[in-house]
Amino acid sequence: MENIRKYLNAELEERIDILWDDNGILWVDWREYDEEIIKCCEKFLKTGDLDGEARESENDMGFDIIIKFKGKEHIIEYKKEGTDRDTTIKTLNKVLSPDYEIRFWMDSIGSDTLGFFPKTSKFWKELEDEFGAEKVRKYFSIIDENSRMFDMNMNEIFKLMEELKK
């Protein structure tokens, strides 16, 4: 949490360098296997109860991506042909709630590999209490069903990058 505190207190020029090499970032490449995103998230959260699996299925893709958490299996429902990172991360975040929450690190936009911070919900509440919800959410965006991360066009990305400079 200390690096995130330093980041939230830092000036624009110093900000990115503080977190870029932080061990708490879950880096997700746009080509990442979806079940691997889930497995990587477990490495950060250390729940002992989170796993991802690709399982053969008779759907159009020929497989399902399954999130296993707290003894339950959750099939990720993809709206388009094939899997996509946005749907995987949004579904994973929903399954982990209310105990855990994944936030999208906004300073990582503009690349094909994006940064996420999986933490306890308590962690995010404490940061928002200390720095204000608006500031924390500006840089560590809440992920909900309307979130777009890998699915943004360049105009949206440039607009967000400008907002982060303010």
Q: Which amino acid is at 145?
A: E
d(CA 30, CA 142): 19
- Per-residue pLDDT for the chain (166 aa), expressed as one digit of tens each? 789 999 999 987 888 889 888 899 999 999 999 999 999 999 999 999 999 999 998 888 888 999 999 999 999 998 877 788 999 999 999 999 999 999 999 999 988 899 999 999 999 999 999 999 999 999 999 999 999 999 888 888 888 888 887 7
State residue 67's pLDDT score.
98
| Domains contained in the chain, number | 1
**pLDDT for position 6:** 94
Provide the pLDDT for residue 162.
Answer: 87
pLDDT score recorded for residue 110: 86
Q: Which of 109, 118, 103, 95 is nearest to 40 (CA)?
A: 118
Of residues 41, 37, 71, 69, the one with CA closest to residue 54: 37
Describe the crossing of helices 85-96 and 34-45 by its angle, rounded to 10 degrees: 40
Provide the residue range defining the domain that includes 48: 2-165
Please report the pLDDT score of residue 113 as a whole number. 95
pLDDT score, position 115: 96
